[in-house]
Structure 1
Amino acid sequence: MTAEVRTERLIIRDWDISDADAALGIYGAEEVARWLTPQMHAVRDSAAMRSVLHAWIEAQPNLIPPAGRWAIVRADDGELIGGLSLRQLPPYDEDFELSWQLRPDAWGNGYATEASQAIIAWAFDQGIEELFAVARPDNDRAIATARRLGMEWVGETDKYYDRRLQVFRIRPASA
């Protein structure tokens, strides 16, 4: 994404190394990391978070558009509250997955839905024909967000990440 995407309350922008301490509040939180697919352990400290961000920033220009990873920032106070990604799902890199992660103290405010709606619209403007979200069957929050986004449940599979996941899909006509 070459420019920021803005919503009424949020700014979606590229990650920066200076985001490491704030990002640690997201990816260092066990209650967030436990749901990441593939499962990622909580990032342990700022140095490790800087390494993760460095890898994401370096990879960004080489991803097949519209894939990417972005920071979610509240517009009113500039506080980094989450992350979004569009990436190709394994094993065949045919399907694009939308995922969102928020700091636990930002849950319940509609930020994941708002940011995801903006990225969905942006991705469809880039020519993507459908996006998927995958969630563990017991991840009620992610499943509820996928439904709020207008994503349709298409079943369960272990095709992605070698674990049983609920699969949701959205196409431009339903966005």
Structure 2
Amino acid sequence: MVWRTERLVLRMWEPGDVARALDLYGRREVARWLGAAPRVLEGEAEAVALIERFRGRSADPRFGVWAVERRDTGVVAGSVLLVPLPDGGGEVEVGWHFHPDSWGRGFATEAARAAVAKGFADGLAEVRAVVRPGNDPSLAVCRRLGMEPLGRTDRWYGTELEEFVLRAP
């Protein structure tokens, strides 16, 4: 699946994106916000495996982890995801991971807005975001998306997170 926003192309991560995936997820300033035990990718083989995992998250066409490519340069700026949260409770998460060279340009908000719109068009009643406390840029994206803050939870990913919800119009 490929779709476009004003400035971005959202598409599957491809094998040719390995170097950019390694550059993005191999950075401590990105990885520090991800997962219960943040760690950076340490080589090409790990980047290949990551892309395969991302591609596997799209077995159900409603969900996925997509590369976010800038239309003006063709460079992958980051990832946007729309995936079920891991406890099997049925909640769906929107998330974003961007390379530092693409921070502060509104790409995360634009990509997340597109992913949320896709989720609602596919019949989701609501979408959640979970953000590590202190990740002020991602907290700001949640606010720009109009998400309602629900407070802190440790329900997902083995760590305390700020939880947000956005309900379908």
Q: TM-score, normalised by structure 1?
A: 0.91
The amino acid that maps onto 1:49 is A
In structure 2, the partner of 1:79 is: 75
1:33–1:39 CA contact under 8 A, matched in 2: no
- Of 49, 65, 77, 1:69 maps to 65
1:89–1:96 CA contact under 8 A, matched in 2: yes
Matches of 1:148 and 1:169 in 2, distance apart?
Answer: 13
Is the counterpart of residue 119 in structure 1 residue 115 in structure 2? yes
In structure 2, the partner of 1:37 is: 35
Q: Which consecutive segments of 4 or more residues in structure 1 shift more than 3 A?
A: none
- Of 120, 133, 137, 1:137 maps to 133
Identify unmatched segments of 5+ residues in structure 1.
Answer: none
- Of 14, 17, 20, 2:15 maps to 17
In structure 1, the partner of 2:25 is: 27
Structure 1, 110-119 or 90-99: larger mean CA deviation: 90-99
Aligned partner of residue 96 in structure 2, secondary structure: strand
Structure 1 residue 55: deviation in Å? 2.7
TM-aligned CA distance change 1:95 to 1:127, over 3 Å: same
In structure 2, the partner of 1:161 is: 157
The amino acid that maps onto 1:41 is R
1:16–1:53 CA contact under 8 A, matched in 2: yes
Q: How many residues align?
A: 169
Aligned partner of residue 159 in structure 2, secondary structure: coil
1:14–1:71 CA contact under 8 A, matched in 2: yes
Structure 1 residue 60: deviation in Å? 2.5
Matches of 2:24 and 2:54 in 1, distance apart?
Answer: 15
- Of 168, 171, 175, 2:167 maps to 171
Structure 1 residue 59: deviation in Å? 4.4
2:55–2:64 CA contact under 8 A, matched in 1: no
1:97–1:132 CA contact under 8 A, matched in 2: yes
Matches of 1:54 and 1:146 in 2, distance apart?
Answer: 28
- Of 79, 92, 96, 1:96 maps to 92
- Of 52, 57, 60, 2:58 maps to 60
Structure 1 residue 93: deviation in Å? 3.7
